[in-house]
């Protein structure tokens, strides 16, 4: 079964935005054991879209297409599909009612003609539910290919992809081949070192393809299992997972796809322990990542984003003398920040971060990329200084946050 | 003159990395007045690459291809091109000497067979200089199209693109059509309403194509200007921009591509005013967005991420009676949170957000998607309640944060 991806839109065609949708879709298809042969991109022109749909319909078995399903005039995918498939557009009542309902929740009493247009689908197409917007997704067989048309808004597309994958696996999967992927997430080991540590993996595991993906600063080790017998593959994957853990164990933070913040939530909730944070250079990013996880209110109490030194002193009661003597970016200051966050919120654990994200603020002794992380646990307060080689502000915020979460995870596992 | 872009490589095909090269190349071609019709992506398979090259060679006039010119075994583009063009590979002496020179500078005395392979180019091709790596770029006419083959390493590709553009303009006599895009960013207006408000735009502006892009919750209105005379296009774009501002002015937050947090930073720094925040459901996201902008320490003092009610009381001094009587998600509570954040940090402005991001925590009166936003300015403290129709936690955090930043922007513009 061969898949292709098609993204439509002048914004992507002209380079106004990079096509991240196609990468996302390719990963999901790949993980579901479906071979992606090509990506294609074309602009908002009805004849061009119809022409490329016809071309691909002779080549691929499955096509995931994104874009052009919005309410505006340049959203013309449904029309182009109708043209390519030589059918008419017709009002889909289910889609119409869903749009009406969605707009009602937004406080709009009447459906406008532009939104009503979003319920006009090519005849014979099957509606794909969109729970987060007015664009209607749909699937339609054209020549030998089944096309899935989804909105280009990444959030909406991502919400609908599980339905697409499920449909493909249930309705279209001729092959009974069993595919399963294990995703082992690590932090703190470079990709080349991870590769070196696992260089004899492929000799031992014949049915598993080993892959590495850098989702900086994390390195994900992927085990792609594939074969005719489910039990054999699952047994081999289990062994493969243990092999990777044996070699890279100290860097592994999850083997079930969970993020580091999900892993932390799980442990703290199990321990019935609470956490507070004090952030300077990360500016709230650590708290925001932790609270992306549903249920984080069970353990997360407070983060003091004390960007100004004065806030560190007023809110967290850091001693002005400490900042004066050692600087705001120092092991001494972050220890006092962590202790302060713990004390004022009554938390069991606290982490504190202060660093130089850049572009300015670096010195010879503490260049851009320097970060201090403090951890207060049930018994002690400790602190460490790190230096990362990146000179870019957003990247540094990400790296500093990841380093702090990683130290926290190691601590709550131990204490 | 019609251009296409081709990127090769399994990493892009399988979604391991998004194809940012194609977006970059498309922008440069667009700016040079060359119409980009399609992007294509294919994996590291010699037959697949040769096949797609043949296809495109019948369609386009110019093709920029990236990837597969490295030293390793899976770098097979030159071979695939030779196959598609039905020519042999031959040693290019200039390329060989340049590689030798480049390696010498790196301290390597001898050229390895793998690097020597990088000097083997399809017969009749013309070398494109690479000053930053060992990969040789080259151009070759195949059927009606002139192909430019460049390395996939973005840094190397970017260094070579000026030569490509110059060659196209000098040797292939591309039209000097002038292209310019204006990006007007709005918040608070749905895409369909924005389109409705601008429905007569196209009648008035013949040389400007109007486009809409949802970067939820923002809607970006794009004016694509294109024509032979630079001055005419720029004059018309200026008028078009004023037209959009007249119709959508209350929702427009930038016309120069700036983000809402950059716009806020600009205004507050100009006013020499400071800001603090109190966040509950957004969990630090607002502070994190604001501190993504370099220089935010000039105005941003503090955010109290008071996730637990107890933290709202202890840190921000919200009255327990207020939370008891009105609830944590109430106009009364966010007003006290804003006042508290302002008071303890000594800021000029403060915003506070408390809401129900979901998936749980909703009630009939305050369902998931409910958010209260408080603003304290130099004189007053006000608060508002909103209800958004989204049921997804991360999306709600984003929407709540955007709504708070939008209210803040309106307030600091006025007061």
The tens digit of pLDDT for each residue in A52-71 reads 999 999 999 999 999 999 99
CATH number of the CATH domain containing A192: 3.30.70.2860
Last residue of one domain, picked from the residues A254, A283, A309: A254
* Closest by Cα among A71, A72, A70, A133 to A106: A133
CATH assignment of the domain containing A371:
3.90.950.20
Looking at the partner chain, which of A52, A134, A287 has a beta carbon nearest the beta carbon of B283?
A: A287
Tell whether B367 lies on the interface with A, counting CB pairs under 8 A: no
Mean pLDDT computed over A167-191: 80
- A296 and A391 in one domain? yes
Domain carrying residue A144:
2-172
- What is the value of ipTM here, to two decimals? 0.75
> How far apart are the C-alpha atoms of B86 and A9, rounded to whole Å?
35
pLDDT of residue A222: 84
Asked whether residue B269 falls in the same domain as residue B405, the answer is yes
Q: Write out chain B residues lying below 8 Å of A107, CB-based.
A: 387
Nearest CA distance, B365 vs chain A (angstrom): 14
Q: Does B84 touch chain A (CB under 8 A)?
A: no
Check whether residue A43 and residue A117 sit in a common domain. yes
**Are A29 and A138 members of one domain?**
yes
CB within 8 Å: A304 and B308: no
The pLDDT of residue A174 is above 60:
no
pLDDT of residue B123: 96
Please judge whether B30 and A23 are an interchain contact, meaning their C-beta atoms are less than 8 angstroms apart. no
Q: What per-residue confidence (pLDDT) applies to A154?
A: 93
| Distance to chain B for A177, nearest Cα, Å | 19
Contact call for A48 and B30, based on CB within 8 A: no
- Among chain A residues, CA nearest to B401: A288
Predicted local distance difference test score (pLDDT) of residue A175: 58
Mean pLDDT by 10 residues, chain B (415 residues): 94 88 93 90 95 97 94 86 97 93 80 88 95 91 97 90 91 72 90 92 90 84 87 95 95 92 96 97 97 96 96 96 97 98 96 96 94 96 92 91 95 86
Contact A14 B25 (CB under 8 A): no
Does the residue A112 lie in any domain?
Answer: yes
A127 found inside a domain: yes
Q: Is A51 part of a structural domain of the chain? A: yes
Q: Give me the number of domains chain B comprises.
A: 3
A71, A211, A306 member nearest B195 (Cβ): A71
The b-or-e profile of A61-99 (16+ CB within 10 A means b, else e) is: bbbbbbbbbbbbbbbbbbbbbbbbbebebeebeebbebb
Q: Does A112 touch chain B (CB under 8 A)?
A: yes
Contact B20 A18 (CB under 8 A): yes
Between CA B399 and CA A283, with CA A153 as vertex, the angle to 5 degrees is 40
Asked if A306 has any chain B CB less than 8 Å from its own CB, the reply is yes
Do B105 and B139 belong to one domain?
yes
Shared domain check, B216 and B166: no
State whether A304 and B301 contact (CB < 8 Å). Answer: no
Tell me: do B16 and B151 sit in the same domain. yes
CA distance A281 to chain B (A): 8
Cα of A106 to nearest chain B Cα, Å: 6
CA B80 – CA A48 distance, rounded (Å): 28
Show residues of chain A in contact with B394, CB under 8 Å. 292
pLDDT of residue B176: 64
Q: Mark yes or no for CB contact B292/A71 under 8 Å.
A: no
Collect all residues of chain A within an 8 Å Cβ-Cβ radius of residue B195.
Answer: 71-73, 114
Chain B environment of A299 (Cβ under 8 Å): none
> Quick one: closest CA in B to A28, which residue?
B15
Sort out which chain B residues have CB atoms less than 8 A from A132's CB and list them.
390-392, 395
Tokens of B296: 């935010």
Neighbouring residues of A22: CB distance < 8 A, sequence distance ≥ 6: A5, A7, A39, A41, A66, B15, B18, B19, B41
Q: What is the structure's pLDDT at B171? A: 82
> Which of B254, B275, B304 finishes a domain?
B254
- A44 and A94 fall within a common domain: yes
Contacts with A394 from chain B: Cβ below 8 Å: 292
Instruction: Judge whether A30 is closer than 8 Å to chain B, CB to CB.
Output: yes
Give φ, ψ of B321 to 5 degrees: -65, -35
Residue B38: predicted pLDDT: 98
Tokens representing B123? Answer: 């017969």
Mean pLDDT of A150-158: 95
Q: Both A136 and A182 in a single domain?
A: no
Q: Is B106 on the interface with A (CB under 8 A)?
A: no
Residue A259 within a domain: no
Flag whether pLDDT at A294 surpasses 90.
yes
Give CA–CA dist A217/B165, Å, rounded.
35
Task: Check pLDDT > 80 for residue A190.
Answer: no
Residue A156's CB is within 10 A of a number of other CB atoms, namely: 23
3-state per-residue secondary structure call for A292-306? CCCCHHHCEEEEEEE
pLDDT at B155: 84
- Does residue A181 carry a pLDDT above 90? no
Are both A163 and A269 inside the same structural domain?
no
Q: In A, residues 232-271, which contact B (CB 8 Å cutoff)?
A: none
In the prediction, which pLDDT does B175 show? 60
Mean pLDDT of A159-178: 83
Contact check, Cβ <8 Å, B14/A20: no
Shortest CB distance from B195 goes to which of A37, A114, A131? Answer: A114
Of the residues B124, B144, B171, which one is the last residue of a structural domain? Answer: B171
Does A260 reside within a domain? no
> Under a CB-based contact definition with an 8 Å cutoff, are residues B299 and B277 in contact?
no
B196 preceded by a cis bond (ω within 30 of 0): no
Q: Does residue A293 lie in a domain region?
A: yes
Model confidence at A255: pLDDT above 80: yes
> pLDDT tens digits for B297-343?
999 999 999 999 999 999 999 999 999 999 999 999 999 999 999 99
One domain for residues A18 and A140: yes
Residue B174 has what pLDDT?
Answer: 54
**Which residues are CB-neighbours of B412 under 8 A, at least 6 positions away?**
B264, B267, B268, B271, B273, B349, B377
Q: How many CB atoms lie within 10 A of CB A320?
A: 11
- Closest-CA residue of B relative to A43 is B37
Are residues B308 and A112, on separate chains, in Cβ contact within 8 Å? no
Read off the CATH number of the domain in which A85 is found. 3.40.980.10
3-state secondary structure of A382: strand
CB–CB of B344 and A286 under 8 A? Answer: no
Residue A110 contacts B, CB cutoff 8 Å: no
| Shared domain check, B331 and B228 | no
- On whether any CB of chain A is under 8 Å from the CB of B47, the answer is no
Judge whether residue A31 has pLDDT over 90. no
A66 touches B at CB < 8 Å? no
């Amino acid at each position: 079964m061969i898949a292709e991806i098609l993204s439509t839109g002048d914004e992507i065609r002209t380079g106004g935005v990079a096509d991240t949708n196609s990468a996302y879709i390719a990963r999901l298809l790949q993980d579901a054991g479906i071979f992606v042969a090509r990506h294609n991109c074309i602009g908002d022109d009805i004849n061009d879209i119809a022409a490329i749909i016809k071309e691909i319909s002779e080549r691929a078995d499955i096509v995931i297409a994104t874009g052009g399903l919005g309410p505006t005039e340049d959203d013309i995918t449904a029309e182009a599909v109708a043209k390519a498939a030589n059918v008419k557009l017709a009002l889909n009542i289910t889609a119409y009612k869903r749009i009406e309902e969605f707009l009602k929740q937004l406080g709009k009493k009447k459906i406008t003609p532009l939104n009503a247009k979003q319920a006009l689908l090519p005849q014979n197409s099957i509606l794909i539910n969109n729970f987060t917007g007015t664009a209607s997704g749909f699937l339609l067989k054209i020549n030998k290919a089944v096309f899935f048309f989804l909105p280009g808004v990444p959030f909406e597309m991502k919400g609908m992809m599980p339905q697409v994958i499920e449909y493909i696996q249930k309705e279209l999967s001729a092959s009974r081949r069993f595919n399963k992927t294990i995703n082992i997430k690590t932090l703190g080991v470079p990709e080349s070192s991870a590769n070196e540590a696992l260089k004899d993996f492929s000799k031992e595991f014949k049915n598993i393809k080993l892959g590495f993906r850098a989702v900086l600063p994390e390195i994900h080790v992927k085990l792609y299992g594939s074969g005719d017998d489910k039990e054999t593959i699952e047994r081999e994957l289990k062994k493969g997972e243990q092999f990777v853990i044996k070699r890279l164990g100290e860097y592994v933070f999850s083997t079930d796809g969970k993020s580091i913040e999900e892993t932390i939530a799980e442990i703290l909730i199990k321990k019935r322990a609470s956490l507070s944070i004090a952030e300077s250079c990360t500016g709230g990013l650590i708290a925001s990542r932790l609270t992306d996880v549903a249920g984080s209110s069970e353990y997360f109490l407070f983060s003091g984003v004390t960007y100004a030194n004065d806030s560190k002193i007023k809110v967290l009661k850091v001693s002005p003398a400490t900042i004066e003597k050692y600087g705001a970016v120092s092991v001494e200051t972050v220890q006092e920040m962590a202790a302060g966050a713990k004390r004022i919120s009554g938390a069991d654990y606290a982490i504190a971060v202060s660093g130089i994200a850049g572009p300015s603020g670096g010195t010879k002794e503490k260049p851009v990329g320097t970060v201090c992380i403090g951890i207060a646990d049930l018994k002690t307060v400790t602190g460490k200084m790190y230096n990362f080689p990146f000179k870019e502000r957003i990247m540094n915020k990400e790296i500093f946050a990841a380093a702090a979460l990683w130290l926290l995870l190691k601590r709550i596992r131990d204490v």
